[in-house]
Amino acid sequence: MQGKTYKKILRSAACIAGGILLSGSLTLAALEGNTALYKSYVYTQTGEAVESPAAYQPVDVIESRTLGLNETMEPNDIFLSSSGCLYIVDTKNNAIHIVSSDYRIIGSITKLSGESGGTTALSAPECVYVDEEEQIYVADTGNKRIICIDQNGKVLKEYPTPEIKISGKEIPYQPIKVAVDFAGRIYVVAKNVNRGILELNQSGELLGYIGAPDVTMNMAEYFWRMISTDAQKSYLDRYVPTEYNNLLVDASGFIYATVGTVDATEILSAAKNKNNSSTAIPIRKLSPSGEDVLTKRGAFPPIGDIEFEESEHSIITDVAIRETGSYSLLDSRRGRIFTYDAESNLLYIFGGKGNQVGKFQSPTSLVYWEDRLLVADKVTGKITVFKPTCYADIINKAIQLEDDGEYEKAYEAWKQALVYNSNLSTAYYGIGKMEYRLKKYDSAMNHLKLIDEKYFYSKALVMQRKKILTTAIPICGVGILCLVVVLVVLKIAKKKRKTKLKKI
């Protein structure tokens, strides 16, 4: 019986991603009969969705049962600390669970203690951020506050409630996301605030807004605002286009923020017109000054799916980043994960809605944990652990090698990725870019032309022309010099001949 089951697993794994074996601790029942579960797709340069090898596959599931918790979790947010601990924000049970790298519960914070010795409780917490000293910043949404606590639940600091006014009207403070940079500045996403991300100093005082939208008005809109009542102005403010729904601060202090309010018509237009400068793009990389510095050189803007009916676009609710600058976006509408390189070229897509292992009901958060990717689902109460297949491994390796300056090795890795998937436009881009780095300009142009890539193609073209001129000028110089010598010799010979004729 065991031998037959083992063969079934091998056959199933062989069908997935061309013979890539699945490692992990999923139950046999979860895997059997689901060979189509991990199928993936990617978009070509023309926007056509084509089948792709599986990029990531589930290898484990973290849930209340495996953690030994009595109540079913509602994981609204997950965060990986620098010490390697996973923090789970359990909104329904007003708790924060701390999990080790082998998925064992270290502790749960349900009660908070203050300096006076009294205890309080969290109320519908929605987000957590943990700094280098393992101090925990919590968006305690139900209590309308940001607090800093230790692993034992001791309140180290409760930050004051900032006064938020929009068009003269005070907005109730409901923080839903929090992050802290290396300088101790606190960034908060609050409900119903469309002026940007709140920036607080270390004392919790409001300094201003980061990533506030650039709102431009035509003459008609300006005139209408001039004669509008306060109530009408308040109504107009609802249509300021940017309301963030999540954020993450990287090691350099850049803020990766996702936008929850995107105009369906604008995002459809951005997809159709390949508009990488559209304000409808739901991911931003904000500098400390609030400027969006995300590099976007992909064939299509990083918006998730680019084929969709109007008002059925991807809803991006979280972002996870790697040291190389590549990032993954979580689409809560379709349950898919879209991964891009640092230049926003699409690498791979996986996930989806469903009840099977590796799919989701209502995904809320994702985080990288070494080579694994963890995705939380607040409806099922589970956190699915994914590991890359050989296909994703070679793509990730190519990006890492390029980041390390190993261009020759990265070139070979991209060629290998192309063997896995000949429809992967980013592989052609990677090959062409590495050839450019290796000064193989002519070959680089050939590969980049295949995908109609303009940025590195134009750079390679300029360098190829310089190379030709550099080679041609010495040759021309030698040729001209030889010609001059010949002309001088002929002139001297002619002069001598004339002299001889005169003597005769």
pLDDT by residue for the chain (504 residues), tens only, comes to: 444 443 443 344 433 333 333 333 444 344 433 435 577 999 999 999 999 999 999 999 999 999 999 999 999 999 999 999 999 999 999 999 999 999 999 999 999 998 666 789 999 999 999 999 999 999 999 999 999 999 999 999 999 999 998 777 888 999 999 999 999 999 999 998 988 999 999 999 999 999 986 554 555 545 555 666 665 555 444 444 478 999 999 999 999 999 988 888 889 899 999 999 888 899 999 998 899 999 999 999 999 999 988 778 999 999 999 999 999 999 999 999 999 999 999 999 999 999 999 999 999 999 999 999 999 999 999 999 999 999 999 999 999 999 999 999 999 999 999 999 999 999 999 999 999 999 999 999 999 999 999 999 899 898 888 877 777 566 666 777 777 778 777 777 777 666 665 655
The pLDDT tens digits of the residues spanning 48-77 come to 999 999 999 999 999 999 999 999 999 999
What is the radius of gyration, based on Cα positions, of the chain?
30
Phi-psi bin for 335: left (phi > 0), alpha (psi -120 to 50), beta? Answer: left
CATH number at residue 399: 1.25.40.10
Residue 448, domain member (yes or no): yes
From CA 258, how far away is CA 224, in angstroms rounded? 31
HSE of 463 in the Cβ direction (CA atoms, 13 Å)? 18
DSSP, collapsed to helix, strand or coil, labels residue 314 as coil
CA 324-330-335 angle, 5° bins: 140
Q: Residue 151's pLDDT is what?
A: 96
From CA 323, how far away is CA 359, in angstroms rounded? 26
From CA 188, how far away is CA 408, in angstroms rounded? 43
From CA 287, how far away is CA 322, in angstroms rounded? 17
Residue 415, domain member (yes or no): yes
> Which two three-digit tokens encode residue 95?
């708790």
Q: What is the distance of C-alpha 444 from the center of its chain?
A: 26
Residue keyed to tokens 């990083």: 302
Q: What is the DSSP letter of 472?
A: H
Q: Residue 463's pLDDT is what?
A: 85
Residue 217, domain member (yes or no): no
Residue 258, domain member (yes or no): no
Residue 62, domain member (yes or no): no
Q: Residue 499's pLDDT is what?
A: 67
Q: Where are the beta strands (DSSP E) in 412-455?
A: none
CA 464-470-476 angle, 5° bins: 125
Residue 434, domain member (yes or no): yes
Q: Residue 19's pLDDT is what?
A: 38
CB-based burial label for 220 (10 Å; 0-12, 13-18, 19+): exposed
Domain housing 454: 390-504
> Which two three-digit tokens encode residue 391?
């296909």
Q: How many domains does the chain have?
A: 1
Residue 432, domain member (yes or no): yes
Q: Residue 115's pLDDT is what?
A: 67
Q: Residue 265's pLDDT is what?
A: 87
Q: Residue 150's pLDDT is what?
A: 97
Q: Residue 39's pLDDT is what?
A: 75
Residue 254, domain member (yes or no): no
